[in-house]
Structure 1
Amino acid sequence: MTAGVRGAADGGSGPLLTAVGLELTFGRNPALRGANFTIEPGEMVAVLGPSGSGKSTLLHCLAGILVPTAGSVVFDGQEVSAMNDVRRSELRRTSFGFVFQFGQLIPELTALENVAMPLRLSGKRRRVAERQALEWLDRLGVGSVADQRPGEISGGQGQRTAIARALVAGPRVVFADEPTGALDSVQGDEVMTLLASVARETDAAVVLVTHEPRVAAYSDREVIVRDGRTDDQRANGERNL
């Protein structure tokens, strides 16, 4: 089930995305308390922890959706946490891809139009964008639902479509927040196998937030979040092999 250890184990060129000493407080409630994180190209890292531990908040800081109160997030030598809203939005559009628990596909658009959307937002012509989108839908085994809307397809097909949308623009980091949470175990295994395989082929790093050990088993290593603090299992000499 495990995708196979990549990144540092394969002599990678060093971290692609790093966070050091992240702190974030909502009102009087601290969500992150000195959290650290690092991931290399082609590596899949599972972020685990109980509900309310801060794992999704950590993902949002890494992706530039939230700005930490203290600490820094650095992507490919650029400090994300110091960027303005426009620059962080551009980074999410061009270098990051996202897969969420319920897909978050636009219900009024077909699967093809949903997958083409990131390319259209980047200025590609419709015909070119939709050709690339169809290639990704075919690659993920859902080309047959290209003309259907999200409400007309199964949960598994919807998540495959969401993965195609996340990967169509060639992101360097994919953020997957509970990507199998709305699926049964069979569909979940299919989605994780596809995500791990395609990420490995494209050398994209994958930050996988989950509370399920079965899903985490697809990763190369785990980072445990407890009370806003991180425990990197690689640092402790424990790895998923």
Structure 2
Amino acid sequence: MSTVLLEAAGVRKAYGPTDALTAASLRVCAGEVVALMGPSGAGKSTLLHCLAGIVRPDDGTVRYQGEDLAVLTDRARSALRRTDFGFVFQFGQLVPELTCLENVALPLRLNGERGRASAKRAREMLAELGLADIAGRRPGEVSGGQGQRVAVARALVTSPRVVFADEPTGALDSLNGEQVMQLLTTVARERGTAVVLVTHEPRVAAYSDREVVVRDGRTRELEVIR
């Protein structure tokens, strides 16, 4: 049986008088891809942020490898996001002043790795993802699809246990979106990395092992035949 990495139980989160989550529960195992689906405003991104320790739930628990994230200090949660967690966002959020190589190396540098060693690992990661030829270019000099693949490389370069992807193909056309999802899920599965994916697109969710619908702040797992 696969190891449970992340587990949310009865998570509630409100912003003022509005409940974003009312009773959300979810388990994520090592090496699996889980898609969080649902309409806009259903609470998908809020659940993702709770799972990643960015947002503290008002009630319920989120455990990573059995440890309650709520009892960790802000520094400890930040450290997890630099080492054990990777992130891919809708618009990549690459630093425009840095080259693609420097963007991929950035998480390593933030962890205190030396420049030459971090550059070597970043170059290897770009090569693994077929991006070696754009290492010296800046984000504004590459296509949207290439930029998003660089963001995937940045998320994976620290060898995280979990990658959180929030609408990672939302700003891409269908072809580039398919390429990004194939790349992300293939590399993650090869490395035994779990992926928690927020999307409202069935074609993107089709890359997952499980689909969980978030609606009215609650979660419901779909039975999907692959």
TM-score range, shorter chain: over 0.9
Q: How far apart are residue 211 of structure 1 and its match?
A: 0.4
Residue of 141, 151, 154 corresponding to 1:162: 151
Determine the C-alpha separation between the residues in 1 that align with 2:50 and 2:106: 24
Alignment map for 1:130-149 (pairs within 5 Å): 130-149=119-138
Is 2:113 the partner of 1:124? yes
- Displacement after TM superposition at 1:153 (Å): 0.5
Match of 1:221 in 2: 210
Across the aligned residues of Structure 1 and Structure 2, the Cα RMSD in angstroms comes to 0.8
Unmatched segments (≥5 aa) in structure 2: none
User: What is aligned with 1:189?
Assistant: 178
SS of equivalent to 1:50: coil
Q: For this pair of structures, how many residues does the alignment match?
A: 226
Normalising by structure 2, we get a TM-score of: 0.98
Q: Is the 1:220–1:240 Cα contact (8 Å) retained in structure 2?
A: no
1:239 aligns with 2:218: no
Corresponding position of 1:8 = none
Divergent runs of 4+, >3 A? none
Which residue of 79, 88, 97 maps to 2:68? 79
What one-letter code is carried by the residue in structure 1 that aligns with 2:106? M
- Partner in structure 1 of residue 88 of structure 2: 99
Give the TM-score normalised by structure 1: 0.92
What amino acid is aligned across from residue 224 of structure 2 in structure 1?
R
| Cα offsets for 1:136-192 (capped at 9, x unmatched) | 111111111111111111011001100000000000000000000011000011111
Checking the alignment, whether the CA contact within 8 Å between 1:221 and 1:240 is kept in structure 2 is no
- Please list the CA deviations of residues 42-94 of structure 1 after superposition, one character each: whole Å capped at 9, or x if unmatched: 00000000000000000000000100000110001211122121111011111
Letter in 1 for 2:87: F
- 1:70-121 deviation per Cα after TM superposition (whole angstroms, max 9, x unaligned): 0110001211122121111011111000000000001111100000011111
Kept in 2, the 8 Å contact 1:217–1:240? The answer is no
Q: Which structure 1 segments of 5+ residues have no match?
A: 1-10
Aligned ranges 1:2-151 → 2 under 5 Å: 11-12=1-2, 14-151=3-140
After superposition, give the CA deviation of every residue in 1:2-49 in whole Å (9 maximum; x if it has no partner): xxxxxxxxx32x311000000001000000001001110000000000
Q: Secondary structure at the match of 1:194?
A: helix
Cα distance in structure 2, aligned partners of 1:211 and 1:125: 40
Counterpart of 1:6? none
